[in-house]
């Protein structure tokens, strides 16, 4: 069923409109179905996507992570994963820590630091990675704040650093706290042109690596 058909169903049969992308995701692992689930029923879609995330291949996990952050923003996703962080199974805590890595660093996650000393070595490793990624995004936001007031050569260096540290999807999402709207909308638009080229290379690289990992497993 196409996204247009699903949109038409929303008014007539909301339940079927929701189940159509849910089936699409379950049967074919098509990531755009996650967008539709979240658009139709954000709370239910978020909960079910996390359940699907637990056993998904790496490439699909990456897409689900991105969509949960973009659609739910930081606070919504933090609220959604908080119960997983307190569950006794290490598997659930690992899921919480993995998703914590895509939550904007300004959103408080009081349990994450404790996970670095978790009883599960796997949870420890994932938590350390999440803390590291949050730190990198914080550093990128510092560069963003200083970019426009820096000398021209340093502006280019800061832009390149930001692009390396933050998922390009978040930088282009106007509702995301990491977005570069102010920089991209300021003439001359040379930063936007350069960022588009960097983004193209990054997305290609990001797309290839998880798919290769899927095959290796």
pLDDT 10s digits, 192-204: 888 888 888 887 7
CA distance 103 to 120: 22
Query: Is a pLDDT exceeding 70 seen at residue 1?
Result: no
Q: How far, in Å, CA of 149 to CA of 47, rounded? A: 42
139 band by pLDDT with thresholds 50, 70 and 90: very high
- Tell me what pLDDT residue 74 has: 87
Residue whose structure tokens are 């598997």: 91
Q: Is 67 helix (H, G, I), strand (E, B) or coil?
A: helix
Q: How far, in Å, CA of 46 to CA of 77, rounded? A: 8
Query: What's the rounded Cα separation, in Å, for the pair 135 and 119?
Result: 23
Residue 2, pLDDT above cutoff 50: no
Q: Which two tokens stand for residue 159?
A: 């832009």
Helix, strand, coil percentages, rounded to 5, for the chain: 75, 0, 25
For residue 158, count other CB atoms closer than 10 A to its CB: 21
Cα-based angle 109, 167, 178 (whole degrees, multiple of 5)? 60
In this prediction, residue 217 has a pLDDT band, given cuts at 50, 70 and 90, of low
**pLDDT tens readout for residues 27-64:** 887 888 898 899 888 889 999 999 999 888 888 999 99
Give strand ranges (E) for 76-142: none
The span from the CA of 204 to the CA of 175, in Å, is 23
Q: Is the pLDDT of residue 207 over 70?
A: no
| Cα–Cα distance, 131 to 114 (Å, whole number) | 11
The span from the CA of 133 to the CA of 8, in Å, is 40
What is the tens place of the pLDDT at every residue in 77-101? 999 999 999 999 999 999 999 999 9
pLDDT tens-digit readout, 140-155: 999 999 999 999 889 9
Q: What is the rounded CA–CA span in Å between residue 59 and residue 45?
A: 19
Q: What was the pLDDT predicted at 209?
A: 55
Name the residue with tokens 């006794």.
88
Sign of CA dihedral 78, 136, 71, 27: negative
């Amino acid at each position: 069923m196409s996204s247009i058909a699903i949109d038409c169903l929303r008014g007539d049969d909301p339940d079927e409109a929701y189940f159509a992308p849910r089936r699409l995701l379950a049967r074919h692992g098509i990531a755009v179905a996650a967008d539709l689930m979240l658009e139709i029923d954000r709370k239910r879609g978020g909960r079910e996507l996390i359940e699907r995330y637990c056993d998904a291949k790496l490439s699909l996990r990456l897409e689900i992570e991105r969509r949960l952050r973009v659609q739910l923003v930081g606070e919504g996703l933090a609220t959604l994963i908080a119960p997983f962080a307190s569950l006794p199974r290490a598997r659930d805590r690992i899921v919480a820590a993995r998703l914590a890595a895509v939550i904007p660093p300004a959103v408080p996650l009081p349990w994450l630091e404790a996970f670095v000393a978790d009883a599960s070595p796997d949870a420890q490793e994932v938590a350390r990675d999440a803390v590291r990624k949050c730190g990198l995004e914080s550093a990128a936001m510092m560069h963003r704040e200083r970019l426009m007031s820096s000398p021209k050569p340093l502006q280019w260096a800061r832009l390149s650093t930001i692009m390396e540290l933050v998922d390009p999807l978040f930088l282009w999402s106007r509702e995301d706290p990491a977005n570069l709207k102010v920089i991209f909308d300021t003439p001359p638009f040379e930063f936007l042109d350069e960022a588009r080229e960097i983004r193209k290379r990054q997305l290609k690289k990001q797309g290839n690596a998880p798919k290769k990992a899927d095959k290796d497993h």
